[in-house]
Amino acid sequence: MLWPLATDLQILAKHSGCRSQCLDTAKQAITELYKLNIEDPKACAPRVEYLLEVDRFICLPGSYEVSF
């Protein structure tokens, strides 16, 4: 087995840092957009369930009612 070179480790570290930043930004944007209270999981669960029913999460925030 070959050990990774220092540059490989630097690339992995940079990738990990960028990925963490992207995930944090996405989490923040999603919680703001869908008005999710992630500090209280019990309060957040019904809201998430509501948004997942009939794919309301893909609608504009002001028009969650979906009809076909």
**Full residue range of the structural domain in which residue 28 is found:** 8-58
What's the pLDDT at 29?
92
Identify the pLDDT of residue 66.
Answer: 52
Q: Does the residue 16 lie in any domain?
A: yes
Is residue 1 included in any domain, yes or no?
A: no
Domain-located, residue 65: no
Report how many domains make up the chain. Answer: 1
Instruction: Tell me, yes or no, whether 3 lies in a domain.
Output: no
Q: Classify burial at 23, counting beta carbons within 10 Å of its beta carbon; exposed 0-12, middle 13-18, buried 19 or more.
A: exposed
Predicted TM-score (pTM) of this structure: 0.60
In a domain, 68, yes or no: no
Structural domain includes residue 32: yes
- Burial category of 65 from C-beta neighbours within 10 Å (exposed 0-12, middle 13-18, buried 19 and up): exposed
Mean pLDDT of the chain: 83
Confidence label for 2 from pLDDT (cuts 50, 70 and 90): low
The reply to whether 47 falls in a domain is yes
Type and span of the H or E element at 22:
helix 6-33
Instruction: Identify the pLDDT of residue 55.
Output: 79
